[in-house]
Amino acid sequence: MNAFSSAARFGIVLAGLFAMSAWAHHSFSVFDMQTEITLEGEVVEFEWTNPHTWAWVNVTNEDGTVTKWGFEGMSPNYLGRRGWTRDTLKPGDRITVTANPLKSGEPGGTFLRCTLEDGTVKVMFGR
């Protein structure tokens, strides 16, 4: 194999690696991007912060205990231009969140979309 063909093949490899970093800031390595979970709960806080928004949601488990989940969302800069505000999620709101969970099993995930109490669906990506 000569050097050029090795290099050229590497060019192709690089192109394939890309989808891994769909966000500007970090990879998705800690999340299970093949799995979607949907949880209903009560908003504790919506952190309208960079580099990511964080929605903290109390979810009641089957045994009656409550677990606070953290959902990492797009930045306020991105969302603010796509119909979200810092008041889209308010403490006490009941929402249903769909997310890619953390691989570690800890109560957290990547925020994909949610349904508000009035039935409005808010998505993280796209307009």
By CB under 8 A, residue 24 contacts other proteins: yes
Report d(CA 34, CA 84) in Å as an integer. 26
Among 4, 61, 92, 127, which residue interacts with other proteins (rule: CB under 8 A)? Answer: 4
Map tokens 């995930």 to a residue.
109
The token duo for 122 is 């808010």
Strand-pairing partners, residue 113, are 98, 123
Q: Are 100 and 35 in contact (CB under 8 A)?
A: yes
Q: Which is nearer to other proteins, 37 or 120 (CB)?
A: 37
- Judge residue 11's burial from the number of C-beta atoms within 10 Å of its C-beta, 0-12 exposed, 13-18 middle, 19 or more buried: exposed
CA angle 38–122–28, rounded 5-degree value: 60
By CB under 8 A, residue 105 contacts other proteins: no
In the shown chain, the binding pattern of residues 37 to 76 toward other proteins, with x for contact by CB under 8 A and - for none, equals -------xx-x-xxxx-x-x-----------x-x-x--xx
By CB under 8 A, residue 127 contacts other proteins: no
CB of 49 to other proteins, least distance (A): 4
By CB under 8 A, residue 35 contacts other proteins: no
Q: Are strands 108-115 and 121-123 parallel, antiparallel or unpaired?
A: antiparallel
Residues that bind other proteins (CB under 8 A): 3-4, 6-8, 10-19, 21-27, 29-30, 44-45, 47, 49-52, 54, 56, 68, 70, 72, 75-78, 80-81, 91, 102, 106-108
